[in-house]
Chains A and B, each alone.
Chain A
Amino acid sequence: MLKTVGVKSVDELFDQIPRELRLDRPLHLPPPLSEIELEAHLRDLASQNVGASGRVSFLGGGIYDHFVPAAVDAIAGRSEFYTAYTPYQAEASQGSLQAFFEYQTLICELTGMDVSNASLYEGASAMVEAVLMAMRVTQRRGKVVVLGSVHPEYRDTLTTYVRHLGCEIIVVPTPHGTADPSDVARQIDDRTAAVIVQHPNFFGCLESPREIFTVAKQRGALSISVFDPISLGVLRRPAEDGADIAVAEGQSLGIPLQYGGPYLGILACRQEFVRQMPGRLVGETVDRHGKRCFVLTLGTREQHIRRERATSNVCTNQGLLALRATVYLSLLGPRGLHEVAELSCQKSHYAAEQLAEVSGLELAFGGPFFKEFVVRSRGNAAEVARRARTAGFDIGPALNRFPALAVEFGSSANEWLLVAVTESRTKNQIDNLANALRK
């Protein structure tokens, strides 16, 4: 090969890098490991963690231990999917393109919205992309109204992205777990680009999205719904609540916990905003022989063509996770989704009842909730979580983990703990958790 290239050594190929810039020592990296050693090393490290297979998980806060059917792993494990890249060459990528077209359709059915993109990174950045989109649509950059019950990490992410725009972020307090729609309405004015409602919200409680979105519409602001995909097996869809843009963390749709990602950012909107959407879109067309096929479309919105005027800087998205969600929803169908939603709802209500009977514990908020609720411990919530762990259960997160909530709720955040219950939990596990906390 060297002869063909016309050099004497591989080193000569690097002549274009000035000598003085070259690293004159080996990198300080740990020594290489064979596959056997690597596996032993990883197993050792993994054994120092305790995951959902080691403790019974009642953890929530936007990421849940919903069951992942084996068929999802089987399809996502097809390397024709996972070792391909962005389907720019449609003729050699119909598998991914059709799957993404199906994903877009499923998300539209799920949310009632007209169009969905082919995925974004995860929930928080998807919510921010929705806000930036609302600013472009409304030509308003002055103000964004967000409920205090929106995931604190999402709100933190929003602040990071829009701080430099001089945009005012109004956080409507939710001292009793939900916002009073009239408090929200008071904040929406003709400078407001968007109103953001998470429903069910970060505390698990149900908001009144329709009332809030009606006011937003009257005042020319866009309505952004942050939803839980599983909840749509029983709750009204964001479009019917009046949402202009619906966003979600899609982890519940067949994606493993894996310590924070990769997950799935879902973003869907009304048809009229399609040209302001961020991210990739797959469209249907025909080939030269008139055969139906699928291509990436409306690329003129995107960074590789529009550069600094693009609707977003997103390039690589979360294709494989969108595929997982597509397979998951295909396996569940309408009845499966309803059952997962209803089972989660039934079991969480049973759990709430059991935990409320434990002395020292009570439900923090009285209102209706879907699959997750906040318990208040007179004393320290972290201590309650610790006792649960000792007995083999994970509950939480404690709300004082989130700096924004510690500020907004003061010391009461120290007493609060989220508890989430999915379809995977059993009555036995719930009873045992309550018993463990009674001791």
Chain B
Amino acid sequence: MRNRQATNLLFELSQLGRRAARYPACDVPARSLAEMLPTELLAEQSPDLPELTEPDVIRHFTNLSTLNMSVDTHFYPLGSCTMKYNPKRHERLASLPGLIDLHPYQDEASQQGMLAILFELQEMLGEIAGLPAVSLQPAAGAHGEMTALLTAAAYFQDRGEQRTKVLFPQSAHGTNPASAAIAGFECVQLKGRADGFVDLDELRDNLDDKTAVFMITNPNTLGLFERDIAKIAHLLHDVGGLVYIDGANMNAILGITRPGDFGGDMMHYNVHKTFTGPHGSGGPGAGPIAVRDFLANYLPGPIVSRTQSGGADRFQLTTPPKSIGRVRSQFGNVGILLRGYLYLRTLGADGLKAVSEQAVLNANYLRAKLADVLPVPHGERCMHEFVASAEKSKSERGITALDIAKRLLDFGYYAPTVYFPQIVQEALMIEPTETESQQTLDAFADTIRTILNESSEFLHNAPHDTPISRPDEVKAGRQLVLRWKR
């Protein structure tokens, strides 16, 4: 049933003289280009783009789309990414005229409805975090991390403190150290305890008056709540440092506990994970940050503020007095922020708490269903995700985490995150999310059992039923072909 012709590259499909988009004739008195533009700046010819009709283009991309797995078509238990269902109402409403067609530089009076939404979103995100000051500007989680670290740096500098170090556990997302490096900090990685939690003694030994920030994901990347988080925060605060919460795993704790209440001073959200901005094949995301009051003056602008005049609310864009400056142009990834707003308005407080309860129940259920074949080395129960190990199946049958991941694709399941975090051998990080049914989880668990009974040789060559078989990644890296050429 696959249309292989239509999925040739655009450039191979191109036929001289074809075109899709047509534009009206010029209705102003036309001049020659040379009259308007200096000839030495003109192109000799238009770029060599493919020439296609609209049906060519639509058939090409529609067929390409069918080569993807996605949340709308498949269970997508990609750990740490919170691949939950994205309600269709968000797509319709975020595209309303008056929202989708607003220019970032139009006058404030004509964008009051938009500013009201963004203001309310700031308030809601502050409340969920327990950290009152919010910047919606960062475009993704990593961008939020960097923004918060620059905010902290400005705060310390303002206080005349020379703090140069950012600490994080070994199990941290790679973005944590990368963001710290961009923000100009020295990175200190902590080994942690064998059970995956922070080693308080090790932490204490690494803290001093040069410590700026400890970055921690909580629940951590093993899907476990860091029980000592309050003690950790005390240790940091005792030396004058700050605690950053990587909010990638917020889906576990919405309305149950708040980063600000367990000692965090700053955090980012991943609106595309927790609050259903669709993941878009790798973005766009939105990574708003929430911080404590005393950091508010350093946040990037613009922030939406509210004043009341004559009983009516007026909203303005303002820049905090000691702002670090912008981290991007314009306001932020508003299209994704809007979807987050719609999600929160749909759920309310009880609904949001129910999300985390169901997410944690689903994860624990799947964990229990798989415990005998894919044991979880850490913890008795998990939060919203768990990291199982295929070490047993590897040593007994030669079946690796990668084999399982690849074979799952044949059965119509996207693969879990594999080989992360590295503190678990043959790691499979599984996050079912709250939007999957018990029937889906049962079928997935049955499939894992089926796979583990297959021959390892057969599995090493999996997947067998996908549009392509395992790609040669070494060749891709050695003989770089990053564009099509004639």
Contacts and interface: CB of A to CB of B under 8 A. Distances in A.
B239 interface: no
Contacts of B27: 426-428
Range of interface residues on B (Cβ < 8 Å): 35 or more
Given A1-B361, A85-B78, A316 B49 contact: no
A261 B143 CA distance: 14
A253 to B, nearest CB: 11
A52 B103 contact: yes
Interface stretch (A25-33, A181-189, A217-225): A25-33
Nearest to B417: A88
Nearest to A151: B329
Interface stretch (A12-20, A190-198, A355-363, A406-414): A12-20
Given A63-B104, A85-B81, A333-B51, A122 B328 contact: yes
Contact residues of B: prevailing secondary structure: loop
A257 B62 contact: no
Interface in A221-262: 232-237, 240, 249, 256-262
Given A26-B350, A307-B178, A331-B20, A86 B261 contact: no
B172 to A, nearest CB: 8
A289 B229 CA distance: 50
A42 B484 contact: no
A172 B480 CA distance: 38
A349 interface: yes
Contacts of A232: 43, 47
Contact of A110 (B26, B49, B73): B49
Interface stretch (B200-208, B274-282, B448-456): B274-282
A319 B476 contact: no
Given A62-B329, A285-B476, A318-B139, 9 more contacts: A30-B345, A50-B110, A59-B105, A82-B280, A86-B283, A258-B334, A333-B20, A397-B105, A426-B27
Interface in A253-309: 256-263, 274, 280-289, 291, 293-295, 297-298, 300, 302-309
A262 B54 CA distance: 25
10 contacts: A30-B348, A51-B106, A89-B409, A157-B326, A157-B327, A258-B334, A334-B45, A343-B23, A346-B30, A368-B38
A312 B104 contact: no
A381 interface: no
A401 interface: yes
Interface string A1-13: 1101111001001
Given A308-B178, A320-B284, A259 B334 contact: yes
A365 interface: no
B183 A164 contact: yes
A79 B294 CA distance: 42
A54 B230 CA distance: 52
B49 A333 contact: yes
Contacts of A33: 345-346, 348
Interface string B8-46: 011100000011111110111111010011100111111
A44 B19 CA distance: 40
Contacts of A214: none
Contacts of B105: 59, 61, 63, 396-397, 401
B71 interface: yes
B335 A13 contact: no
Nearest to A348: B36
A102 interface: yes
Contacts of A284: 476, 481-482, 484
B463 interface: yes
Interface string A314-353: 1111111101001101111111111110110111011000
Contact of B106 (A28, A335, A396): A396
Contacts of B21: 69, 331-333, 336
A109 B48 contact: yes
B36 A345 contact: yes
A288 B406 CA distance: 14
Contact of B329 (A4, A31, A154, A288): A154
A154 B470 CA distance: 42
- Most chain B CB within 10 A, of A6, A55, A234, is at A234
Contact of A102 (B139, B280, B438, B484): B484
B271 to A, nearest CB: 11
- Most chain A CB within 10 A, of B180, B351, B365, is at B365
A213 interface: no
B20 A261 contact: no
Contacts of B107: 385-386, 389, 394, 396
- Most chain B CB within 10 A, of A84, A105, A163, A288, is at A84
Contacts of A394: 103, 106-107, 110
A427 B473 CA distance: 54
A300 B480 CA distance: 14
A249 B328 CA distance: 11
Contact of B98 (A21, A28, A46): A46
A92 B414 contact: yes
B181 A31 contact: no
A362 B80 CA distance: 56
B64 A85 contact: no
Contacts of A316: 140-142, 270, 272, 279, 282-285
Given A23-B257, A160-B326, A313-B179, A49 B473 contact: no
B190 to A, nearest CB: 13
A80 interface: yes
Interface in B252-272: 253-258, 261-262, 270, 272
A436 B406 CA distance: 64
Given A85-B78, A206-B41, A342-B33, A257 B349 contact: no
Contacts of A331: 20-21, 52, 54, 57
